[in-house]
Amino acid sequence: MIVRVPGRLCWPVHRVATSGHYPDGLAVIEERWTLAMVVDACDVCDAIDEARAEAIKRAGEG
Amino acid sequence: MRTLESQSREIGGVKYIVTPLTTRAALRVMCRVLKIAAPAFGDVAALRDAAAAAGGAIGTLLSGLVSDLDDAALVEVCEAFAEVCEADLGGAKTLPMRNRQWEEHFRGRLFDLFEWVVFCGEVTFGPLLARLQAKAPEPAAAPAAG
C-alpha cells in the first residue's frame, strides 16, 4: 500500500502520531515532544513495521 | 511523558537554564534560520539534511545572524528560545526570559545575547543532530508470531 502525504506536512511528526504505538496525539507531540524524541520514535515505528511485514511475509510463505 | 532535560551554561556571569524547544517551535526556528518557506521535511532523511544545515547555521550564528538573518527573523528566534529559558541571577527564584523579558535582560549585552542564542540552539539541535547523524540501527524487533 502506498500512502501519499502532502509535502507541506512534516511527515516524521505525523508518522509517530498516526502509528498507534504512542498514546500522544499530534497536538501533544507538537507541543510537548522535541524533534529528537520524534526521530527516536520514528526509528521505533520503522523497526516495528519491518518486523510486522516480515511476520506477514513468513505467514504467507508458510 | 518523558521530562525534557534542561542544560545550563554561564554566560556573562549569569547562569541560563534551557530546555529543548518543542517540535513545533523547533520546526519554526529551523524554517526561519534556513529560510524554508514551509516545513518541507518529507521524511527523516530530509529532516537529517535540514538539521545538519541548521546545526551548521547555529554553530556559526554569531557571524551568520548579522549577515543572514533579518531583524524580524532574529527576534523570532530569540522569542522562541526565550520560551524555554530561565536565568539564575542568584536569588531565590529564576527569571523566565519569556514575555519579552529577554529584551530587557540583554540590554547592552549584545555579545551575551548572541552567545545565549547559540547555546539555546545547541540544547535543541545538538541532541537531534546526534541522533540523525548516528547510523540507523538494524531492526532488532523479532517478527511477531502469528
What residues of B are in contact with residue A31 (Cβ under 8 Å)? 22-24
Answer yes or no: is B143 within a domain: no
C-alpha cell read off for A31: 507541543
Please name the residue of chain B whose CA is at the shortest distance from the CA of residue A32: B22
Beta bridge partners of B16: B9, B87
- Contact across the interface for B22 and A31, Cβ inside 8 Å: yes
- Contact across the interface for B124 and A46, Cβ inside 8 Å: no
The pTM of the whole model exceeds 0.90: no
CA distances from B1 to A22, A37, B7, B25, B139 (A): 10, 11, 19, 18, 24
Answer yes or no: is B127 within a domain: yes
Tens of pLDDT along B72-119? 888 888 999 999 999 999 888 999 999 999 999 999 998 899 889 888
- Contact across the interface for A42 and B143, Cβ inside 8 Å: no
Answer yes or no: is B40 within a domain: yes
Answer yes or no: is B118 within a domain: yes
Answer yes or no: is B17 within a domain: no
CA proximity to B5, closest of B18, B23, B16, B24: B18
Domain that holds residue B108: 22-133
Answer yes or no: is B3 within a domain: no
The C-alpha of B26 sits at a distance from chain A's nearest C-alpha, in angstroms, of 7
Tens of pLDDT along A15-49? 899 999 999 999 999 999 988 888 889 889 989 98
The C-alpha of B108 sits at a distance from chain A's nearest C-alpha, in angstroms, of 32
Question: Using CB atoms, which residue from A8, A47, A50 is nearest to B38?
Answer: A8
Q: What does the alpha-carbon distance between residue B73 and residue B29 come to, in Å, rounded to a whole number?
A: 9
Answer yes or no: is B43 within a domain: yes
CB contact at 8 A, B127 and A34: yes
- Structural domain count of chain B: 1
What residues of B are in contact with residue A51 (Cβ under 8 Å)? 139, 141-144
Which of the two residues, B117 and B40, has the higher pLDDT score?
B117
What residues of A are in contact with residue B139 (Cβ under 8 Å)? 46-47, 50-51
Answer yes or no: is B1 within a domain: no
Q: Cell 514575555 sits at which residue?
A: B99
Q: Report the pLDDT value the prediction gives residue B74, as an integer from 0 to 100.
A: 83
